[in-house]
A and B are shown apart, each in its own frame.
Chain A
Amino acid sequence: MEPKELNETQKKMLAWIEKAGAASPSRLSAETGLSPKETWGLLNQMAEWGYVVIRDDPDSVDGALVLANAQRTMSQFKQIKRK
């Protein structure tokens, strides 16, 4: 899937996910101040475009876990390190 351009809210979400590495979508919703419905809608789109992975997680309160794409996170980390 070809990565598509994220909107500002998605960029904010992605930055938070990449900082945390992984989090439950509910926590992301609470931290970013987005409603649960909005959060899930945007996350599903980001997962479809390959920015994040959403998977089942029995340890998560909402039964799901959103994980940053490892390759993308690494390249972001290197860019920050270079600066």
Chain B
Amino acid sequence: MANPTATVPSTSNPFGDELRGARTAKPCSLVIFGATGDLTKRKLVPSLMGLAKDGLLPPAFAVVGFARRPWTDDGFRTELADGVKSFGRPDTGTHFDALADAFSFHQSDFGETAGYQALAKKLDQIDRTRGTAGNRIFYLATPPSSYSAILQNLAATGLSTEKDGRFARVIVEKPFGRDIVTARALNDQVRAAFHERQVFRIDHYLGKETVQNILALRFANGIFEPLWNEKFVDHVQITVAESIGVGSRGGYFEESGIIRDMIQNHLMQVLTLVAMEPPAALAAEAVRDEKVKVLKAIRSFRPEEVDEATVRAQYTRASFAGEECKGYRDEEGVAKDSVTETYAAVRLQVNTWRWANTPFILRSGKRLPRRVTEVAIHFKQPPHLLFEGGKPLMPNVLLLRIQPDEGVALRFGAKVPGPDVRIRDVRMDFRYGTAFGGETADAYERLLLDAMLGDGTLFARGDEVEEAWRIVDSIVAGWKQSNRRPDDYACGTWGPERAERLLGAGRAWRKP
């Protein structure tokens, strides 16, 4: 049999339009470092099978699991089959059965160069037997402490090098550092092995349909964008709330806190999509350039400003949802005198022509009443109040619900039927689940496909990550200098009282 990678480039495929519309990726191998971990079983492989079900996997495709444990190919496949069955979309099990022989396991220590040399040979062999054409994607699904060794070895063995039209890409899981210094160091390590265009920093929030819908809502509709500025928007609230506590992750959480765990990445990403200027094109660099401009327009806090512009707090023991919940400082792995925040609210100002004087208020917390992620655009009052004796009405709110009950709602005032002129809030509601049905692809499906296609639009760029850390670092530095301990809030409440003052007069937090 001849070399299958020796394809003849065609510039005149008479059926080429069939491929263009379908976002079909080129043949490739995916190497997952840390393949014995939960992420591979619960997310990555079930998502790959979702792509297979939708016909979106490349026709020639292979997965190599790379890990320290002494697993066999068969053991690896059995574990993955179980994962697809438990965590995959319905009917994806048959696709795994059909593709099972495309999965293999490679045992090696992450720091052992010989393991990478053997991996290179294995990938060459896969290219010959499965037609994967020398294209490789490396997925770092390991703790960040292993990144350095993996990246150095990929570079040392030439696996990160692109040549002869073959691509080599790396997908990096968050956290991207724990402050700007470590983020820069990580970026330097990544860039020593890969060019920025080869790097895909994954934040699964950006793969959610409803997050992408922020761009669609803003730029595919004529009615919203004219109002999307400081003339009409009073303020913006972005909330990521969780009802669970830190559970068994107390030790990890002590080192990060909610600001590093959620605000630096998920909330900042959502903020940039809400606040960015229209990009020149829906292309990776154009979108990411605009997102970075938003972050650059937020200046770092001076230490003395932090107490006034932020609130941090810890949950305390309380009865919540029918059970007695521990306070944060009673959780396993948490110091009794911990000052790590489980709730943070931050008032940011995007210093641009569009957003001057319109605060963006971000909050995230654990043990809040319910799990919800939303963006609430609060509009200004009408200039002249005709109704109800001129007293202020509830402001119009455009609500972008990211999870659960994904959708968009608009709150506005309507006349209550009857002889009196009274105004009551009503809501126009669009829900993804009802308009498009319940089964939507997992965020990882979209992001894995984009990485195969080389489309970085929904991935964080190095400078974006560093800018977000610059802002967060200035807050953390202010907290460190402050004498104020974190406030308390009871489990099952929407945070500490002091958070109300953050909004300013006449404004109130939503209780979603």
- Is A bound to B? no
